[in-house]
Chains A and B, each alone.
Chain A
Amino acid sequence: SQTIHQWPATLVQPVGSPLSLECTVEGTSNPNLYWYRQAAGRGLQLLFYSVGIGQISSEVPQNLSASRPQDRQFILSSKKLLLSDSGFYLCAFHRGVNTEAFFGQGTRLTVV
């Protein structure tokens, strides 16, 4: 079966520190991978998506970057966190345009 793992679940980081959130997928190959952010009181916002290894598209300009070093691994990073980076981050995947979407458990990031 298809599963998605995301870690850590919670993270408190000081301003200016680096960030690395990891997402891995099992039970499928060549998935479309997504990073979303959910700010308080707002809907999920797409940050990055990837259709293959090394292929990253950014939806919004920001202080974050993403990488896909392996087919089923998607990493969200920052060199220096800002207070405004606080939020709930979700990794997701699906196999194709009109297929079921699967979401990770999310990471609640608090930048202090």
Chain B
Amino acid sequence: KNEVEQSPQNLTAQEGEFITINCSYSVGISALHWLQQHPGGGIVSLFMLSSGKKKHGRLIATINIQEKHSSLHITASHPRDSAVYICAVRPRGGSNYKLTFGKGTLLTVNP
């Protein structure tokens, strides 16, 4: 069974702090997604990774395939970064049509 674990579950930071959210998974994957869910509920895709590192603005996502681990970093955090961040993986093989999701990390950035 494919498990996706995120840590921490909740994270509170002060504006300007560097933030790291971690994601571990248990099976071989073909891709990993980092998603952002704002209080209104809609989900936005931030990154899709299969190896290495990607950067978009203040967001950086890394993945270590051998260790089955990914991190999402936010530099110079801002209150508008407050949201739930969700890690999702697409397994290799027969179940690769679907994503398995972590439970999310609730990030609150205070001014």
Interfacial residues, chain A to chain B (CB-CB below 8 A): 9, 32, 34, 41-46, 49, 51, 59, 88, 90, 92, 97-106, 108
Contact = CB atoms under 8 A, between A and B. Distances in A.
A88 B101 contact: no
Interface residues of B, number: 25
A100 B48 contact: yes
Contacts of A42: 103
Contacts of B101: 43-45
Contacts of A104: 42
Interface of B: 4, 30-31, 33, 35, 40-45, 48, 50, 86, 88, 90, 96-104
A88 B104 CA distance: 15
Given A34-B98, A102-B45, 14 more contacts: A32-B97, A43-B86, A43-B102, A44-B88, A46-B99, A51-B97, A90-B41, A90-B43, A92-B43, A103-B35, A103-B42, A103-B44, A105-B40, A105-B42
